[in-house]
Amino acid sequence: MKVIVNGRVMEIAENTNLWDLVVSCKVKPEAVVAELNEQVAGRDLWVNIILTEGDRLELVSLVGGG
């Protein structure tokens, strides 16, 4: 099943939830903000969000900036 993560197509298993996907990206969940199909998904909901074909996910975090 294909989803788009940070602009790139990613192949994932059916019934993958958002928490598992984030963890598989080797990032600390507490440092990441997830925007799924242009809506921010609260971290406490990730485990209940099952991804579907064509979902567009942005995983962002704070970085240094002026």
Partner 1 sequence: MEDHLVIGGRELKNRFLIGTGKFGNKQVMREAIVSSGTELVTVALRRIDLEHDNENILAFIPENVTLMINTSGARNAQEAVRIARIAREAGYGNWIKIEVINDSRYLLPDNQETVKATEILAADGFVVLPYMNPDLYAARNLVKAGAAAIMPLGSFIGSNQGLKLKILIDVLIEEIDEVPIIVDAGIGLPSHAADAMETGADAVLVNTAIAVAGDPVRMAIAFSKAIEAGRIAYLAGAGREQRTAAASSPLTGFLYNE
Closest by CA to 36, choosing from 26, 49, 48, is: 49
Q: How far is the CB of 52 from partner 1 (least distance, A)?
A: 20
Closer to partner 1 by CB, 13 or 31: give it.
31
Give residues 5-64 in contact with partner 1 (rule: CB under 8 A).
5-8, 25-28, 30-33, 35, 38, 40, 58-64
By beta-carbon proximity to partner 1, the closer residue of 13 and 63 is 63
Tell me, by CB under 8 A, how many residues bind partner 1.
24
What is the signed CA dihedral for 47, 24, 43, 52, rounded to 10 degrees?
-60
Q: State how far the Cα of 29 lies from the Cα of 61, in Å rounded to an integer.
A: 10
